[in-house]
Amino acid sequence: MGMASGFFAAIAYINVKQLGNLGETEWLVVFYFTLISTLITGVGLMFMTLNPITWPGLWLLLGIGVTATLAQLAMTRAYHKGVTLVVTSLGYSTVLFASLWGILLWNELLSPIAWLGMGLIILGGSQWFLEY
């Protein structure tokens, strides 16, 4: 699953860069990404049991939606304007930052294998960055 995810992510990043080269705006790319993702997710949700959304849950969903949209716009702009390999390499830092937030906010304890995996991911990404 990890290899397939990486493969399809690479295809998506290359396509986002090409769309930028063709003059498509970040807003249009993010709109269609969100539309297609929503439709595919909606089909899957038809076969699951849904729980009602509470008012606190609604605020959380709205916050997640707004921040995810802003992040998607920023990432799309980075791929449009930047060098794909550099942007992708810097994207590996999200693993480190997500782990640090987990430690700081939720007192998560990472196993040594998690730290090793994180180090290997960062090392792999930094090799591309250093070569560029």
Contacts of 77 (CB under 8 A, 6+ apart): 26
| Alpha helices, H only, 22-132 | 26-45, 55-81, 84-91, 93-106, 112-131
Q: Are residues 88 and 77 in the same domain?
A: no
- For 102-131, the pLDDT digits (tens) are 999 999 999 999 889 888 877 776 665 566
Q: How many domains does the chain have?
A: 2
Residue 89 reports pLDDT greater than 90: no
The answer to pTM > 0.85 is no
Range of the domain at 104: 84-132
The token pair that represents 119 in the structure block: 């180090």
Q: Give percent of the chain with pLDDT exceeding 70.
A: 94
Q: Are residues 2 and 51 in the same domain?
A: yes
Q: Which of 67, 82, 97 is the last residue of a domain?
A: 82
CB 79 within 8 A of CB 87: yes
- For 17-26, the pLDDT digits (tens) are 899 999 999 9
Q: What is the pLDDT of residue 6?
A: 79
Q: Are residues 92 and 64 in the same domain?
A: no
- Write down the mean pLDDT value for the chain: 87
Q: What is the pLDDT of residue 125?
A: 64
Quickly count: other Cβ atoms within 10 Å of residue 79's Cβ. Answer: 24
